[in-house]
Structure 1
Amino acid sequence: MALKKGTVLELDIESTAFKGKGIAKVDGLAVFVPGTAPGDKIKAMITRKKKSFREAKMLELLEPSPVRVEPVCRHANTCGGCTWQHIPYDKQVKYKEQHVRDHIERIAHLSPDIVQPIIPCDDSLYYRNKMEYSFGTRRWLSEEEIQQDEFVDDSAFAAGLHAPGRYDKILNLKECHLQEKISYRLLDFVRNHCIEHNIPAFDTHKNEGFMRHLVVRTSDYTDDLMVNLVTYRDESETVQKLADALLDQFPGITTIVNNVNDQPNPTAIGRFENVLYGPGYIVDRIGNHSFKIHANAFFQTNTKQAEKLYEVARQYAELDNGGHLFDLYCGVGTLSLFMADKADKVTGIELVNVAIENARFNAKENNVTNAEFVLGDMKDTFNELFLEKHGHPDCVITDPPRSGMHPDVVKQLSNLKLDRLVYVSCNPSTMARDLKLLKEVYEVESVQPVDMFPQTYHIEAVAKLTKKG
């Protein structure tokens, strides 16, 4: 069969692929279909033609898979926040573990037997400590509205999440189950307040309006609750009235800030910030260390699961006898500080200046005196001159971005021939690519998947490497 774009056909979904798409086979050719589950029989239309595969859109679910369940949220089939709510959680983690095994075998050319059973999340819903909602003047239409013959107006004050792949349209949320239940209630209150008081949403096409984002931060270890109102202009009277109304309705709020982003970029980070109520930060904890988390600071999104991830990294680092630890891509230093009590010295390296400032601040706040943090681009900074100045590590932990490590960093780690190397990854495919190179010098002993983001296809993994010979 010629599977050209627009072809409609029936498919049997056999398994899942990375990024959560179901896989069907037609004459040996893989067809990837989002929103499906293994065992589904569907009618689909080919939407993209590539040399070695096809992508398709499900038009109709002909026979649901035995594993398929009814999503908790009404938006699950439309929203990009949760892509796997139609799959029960015990199956989600098995699919994720298999994805890691596939990457290790297919990309790294290592035995999949080194992959350990996945560490699941205790809470498959309401696990996030931060949600960033957006406001807009155009709402995303439902499939039913799109299929209507008559015109459906999409202009509205919309509050929720960006529709998948669209920066300019907002899925107007009526519920959300990713953060504590108060999070959606705050969003709904702000939306209604703005409509009632004629406060306009920001229009991304015209670069005008007012409300841009609502960011809600909660703490797992305290009762702290932050509301961050991100606006296009600095209008103190408008935001203060909204803040007062929020405090009246939600007395549990401990701080409210207003980030003013008067630039065309869509970020929720303001050019400057006004504290409207409280200290301007919340406090949370990972391990034995407390962290002051300001509105724009990075912090692990799933606090309790981050502790499990870090504990695996600490076990793999084997720092019982101390030694000098390097933490590459250290961010705000959470992992560095988690390791500090086991090491004689910790040296963190990070590209982002504000992250280094936060790391130094966090070390001081927690009375950690054996950690230093160095600003620099890893591929340029992590070299022989750096080692001469800061010393040679006994162990390195690397926690790179989704793109993995730069080839120069991989080469330097190979040249070091460390006794122990720990690789923390948020993208097992790029980790497997790097492990393929590192295995020339190191034995990859173990890979531990850790699920940080239930209801999504995302999966973290930690690899333990030791020097060969």
Structure 2
Amino acid sequence: MALKKGQEVTLTITGAAFKGKGVGKVDGMAVFVHGTAPGDTVRGRIIKKKKSFCEAKLLEIIEPSTDRIEPLCQHANVCGGCSWQHLPYAKQAEYKGQQVEDHVRRIAGLSETKVHPTLACDQELYYRNKMEYSFSTRRWLTEAEIQSDEFVDDSAFAAGLHAPGRFDKILNLNECHLQRKESFAILDYVRSYCVEHDIPAYDAYTHEGFMRHLMIRNAHHTEDFMVNIVTNADEPSIIQPLADALLKEFPIISTIINNINDTKSPTSVGRIQKVLHGPGYIVDKIGGHSFKIHPNAFFQTNTLQAEHLYEVARNYADLQDGDVVYDLYCGVGTLSLFMSEKAHKVLGIELVEVAVENAKFNAEENKVDNVSFVQGDMKDVFTEEMVEEFGAPDVLITDPPRVGMHPDVVERLKQLKVPRLVYVSCNSSTMARDLQELSEVYEVLEVQPVDMFPQTYHVEAVAKLRLKSS
């Protein structure tokens, strides 16, 4: 009997699938259920019906898996920040490795490529160096409130994270274990301060109110600690007393910034930026290089594990004296600088103009003179003329966005035939798609999954490729 949307089903979860969903079968049809673990027997309701699979909403865990644990955080089953807290960390790493291997085997068709066990993170919790919280006039209701027959008022000064799939409602956090403990303490203090002083939260519908976001960044290798308050207007008489109160309560804070976003855009990047205390940036390190991290600049979210990821990439590059390295999608140049220590010359290529400016600044600040950066769309600037200007690469490193590389870039790599290629990915499915194409010219020797984000389903991967002998 064919499954139908709205139908309730009972199934046993047999595996962990993409995006952290558990998967089982009903009458031979694969059914994906969010919030489950392999070994769970569950009851769910079909909410999406496709030709080859269904998705179901979890209604009840009839019999829990022997692997299932009680999440540390009370919000784990609702918040989108930690979707796997109900699994021991060792199991999380195991399933992430299985996911990468499945993509390499099934999508890329690489049956002989070695896929290593996941390189796990040393810190299972409190590992993020950046958290962006939001404020709202509407809070996300609990499951009990949603199911209540009585009216439940959702209006409140809510401070926390967006409820999954909602731009307007905020999960009003009572705890968070992703960043250092001071991070949530500061959020909680700001929320209480605003309520006490009648400072309104921003309303995404009316575009009125004052408090929009609270971004907190901390350095791993230094004591620097940043608080970035994003508001809907420039009101020094409101924001400066709040900053003064924060400094008194939390001496750990080294700089406070006020980003003023008075547009309808939900971004935390302000049209105006003011430094209320300190230098307006923090300093951290990756490898032997220091980086000034400004409020809106990109920096790897897990500093220590980023170093491990870069070490894998550099080992796979097998750098030799005199090597010319191309770093595609180089961002702010952290990996380019990491490679520069053992390379003769590095060329970083990046689309985002401000990232290239930051990359050049980072190279100058670290007195690295063997790295150059070029701004432009990869498919347009990665040409024969570039190779003639900067020299043919001995090693090419590509670290594309989640969508993977543009087909024109993949074709260019096949034509260029660089002796050593390293593919760094935050999406193993699109990496596998690109590896399938590249395998016509390159041998994919091994893949190393790297866990940058414990308690989530996200996993990075690094692939080692070598040019096939003709």
> Which TM-score band (shorter chain)?
over 0.9
Q: Quote the residue 2:379 is aligned against.
A: 379
Kept in 1, the 8 Å contact 2:162–2:169? The answer is yes
Q: Distance in 1 between matches of 2:59 and 2:80?
A: 18
Matched residue type, 1:77 = N
Q: Quote the residue 1:412 is aligned against.
A: 412
Q: Distance in 1 between matches of 2:363 and 2:25?
A: 53
Kept in 2, the 8 Å contact 1:322–1:342? The answer is no
Alignment of 1:177 onto 2:182: no
Deviating 4+ runs (over 6 angstroms): none
Q: Distance in 2 between matches of 1:59 and 1:2?
A: 20
Give the TM-score of the pair, scaled to structure 2. 0.99
Listed one character per residue, the Cα deviations across residues 316-365 of structure 1 (whole Å, up to 9, x for unaligned) are: 11113231100000000000000101111110010111100100000011
Give the TM-score of the pair, scaled to structure 1. 0.99
Matched residue type, 1:176 = C
Q: Distance in 1 between matches of 2:257 and 2:112?
A: 48
Larger CA deviation: 295-304 vs 320-329: 320-329
Listed one character per residue, the Cα deviations across residues 261-313 of structure 1 (whole Å, up to 9, x for unaligned) are: 11111111111210000000001000000101000000000000000000000
Q: Distance in 2 between matches of 1:169 and 1:13?
A: 31
Kept in 1, the 8 Å contact 2:21–2:34? The answer is yes
Matched residue type, 1:24 = G
Q: Quote the residue 2:129 is aligned against.
A: 129
Quote the offset at 1:26 in angstroms: 1.2
Kept in 2, the 8 Å contact 1:101–1:112? The answer is no
Kept in 1, the 8 Å contact 2:215–2:228? The answer is yes
Matched residue type, 1:54 = C
Listed one character per residue, the Cα deviations across residues 91-142 of structure 1 (whole Å, up to 9, x for unaligned) are: 0000000000100000000026510121100010000000000000110001
Q: Distance in 1 between matches of 2:151 and 2:92?
A: 39
Q: Quote the residue 1:48 is aligned against.
A: 48
In the TM superposition, what are the counterparts of 1:204-353 in structure 2 within 5 Å? Answer: 204-353=204-353
Alignment of 1:145 onto 2:123: no
Kept in 1, the 8 Å contact 2:113–2:447? The answer is no
In the TM superposition, what are the counterparts of 1:396-435 in structure 2 within 5 Å? Answer: 396-435=396-435
Q: Distance in 1 between matches of 2:90 and 2:65?
A: 15
Q: Quote the residue 1:106 is aligned against.
A: 106
Larger CA deviation: 447-456 vs 110-119: 110-119
Kept in 2, the 8 Å contact 1:442–1:467? The answer is yes
Kept in 2, the 8 Å contact 1:20–1:457? The answer is yes
Q: Distance in 1 between matches of 2:131 and 2:112?
A: 35
Q: Quote the residue 1:439 is aligned against.
A: 439
Q: Distance in 2 between matches of 1:247 and 1:302?
A: 25
Matched residue type, 1:19 = K
Q: Distance in 2 between matches of 1:28 and 1:321?
A: 56
Matched residue type, 2:302 = N
Listed one character per residue, the Cα deviations across residues 211-251 of structure 1 (whole Å, up to 9, x for unaligned) are: 00000000110111000000111111211010000001001
Q: Quote the residue 1:12 is aligned against.
A: 12
Alignment of 1:202 onto 2:198: no
Q: Quote the residue 2:2 is aligned against.
A: 2
Matched residue type, 2:79 = C
Matched residue type, 1:349 = I
Listed one character per residue, the Cα deviations across residues 370-389 of structure 1 (whole Å, up to 9, x for unaligned) are: 10111101111111222222
Matched residue type, 1:310 = Y
Q: Distance in 2 between matches of 1:308 and 1:456?
A: 19
Q: Quote the residue 2:21 is aligned against.
A: 21
Q: Secondary structure at the match of 1:193?
A: helix
Q: Distance in 2 between matches of 1:381 and 1:147?
A: 55
Matched residue type, 2:132 = E
Matched residue type, 1:33 = V
Kept in 2, the 8 Å contact 1:76–1:82? The answer is yes
Q: Distance in 2 between matches of 1:321 and 1:313?
A: 17
**Structure 2 CA distance for partners of 1:112 and 1:93, relative to 1, 3 Å:** farther
Q: Distance in 2 between matches of 1:35 and 1:264?
A: 34
Quote the offset at 1:201 in angstroms: 0.6
Q: Secondary structure at the match of 2:133?
A: strand
Q: Distance in 2 between matches of 1:381 and 1:163?
A: 40
Alignment of 1:115 onto 2:115: yes
Matched residue type, 1:190 = V
Matched residue type, 2:170 = I
Matched residue type, 1:396 = L
Alignment of 1:92 onto 2:92: yes
Q: Distance in 2 between matches of 1:445 and 1:225?
A: 41
Quote the offset at 1:2 in angstroms: 2.4
Matched residue type, 1:329 = Y
Kept in 1, the 8 Å contact 2:444–2:464? The answer is yes
Name the % identity: 67
Kept in 1, the 8 Å contact 2:139–2:171? The answer is yes
Listed one character per residue, the Cα deviations across residues 386-444 of structure 1 (whole Å, up to 9, x for unaligned) are: 22222221111000000000000000001011110000000000000000000000000
Matched length: 469
Q: Distance in 1 between matches of 2:33 and 2:292?
A: 42
Q: Distance in 2 between matches of 1:3 and 1:340?
A: 56
Q: Distance in 2 between matches of 1:313 and 1:24?
A: 35
Q: Distance in 1 between matches of 2:353 and 2:261?
A: 20
Q: Secondary structure at the match of 1:19?
A: helix
Unaligned stretches of 5+ residues in structure 1: none
Q: Distance in 2 between matches of 1:277 and 1:67?
A: 47
Q: Distance in 1 between matches of 2:327 and 2:270?
A: 29
Q: Distance in 1 between matches of 2:340 and 2:95?
A: 34
Q: Secondary structure at the match of 2:296?
A: coil
Kept in 2, the 8 Å contact 1:225–1:255? The answer is yes
Listed one character per residue, the Cα deviations across residues 1-41 of structure 1 (whole Å, up to 9, x for unaligned) are: 32111001111111110100000101221100000000101
Kept in 2, the 8 Å contact 1:118–1:449? The answer is yes
Unaligned stretches of 5+ residues in structure 2: none
Kept in 1, the 8 Å contact 2:113–2:445? The answer is no
**Structure 2 CA distance for partners of 1:256 and 1:112, relative to 1, 3 Å:** farther
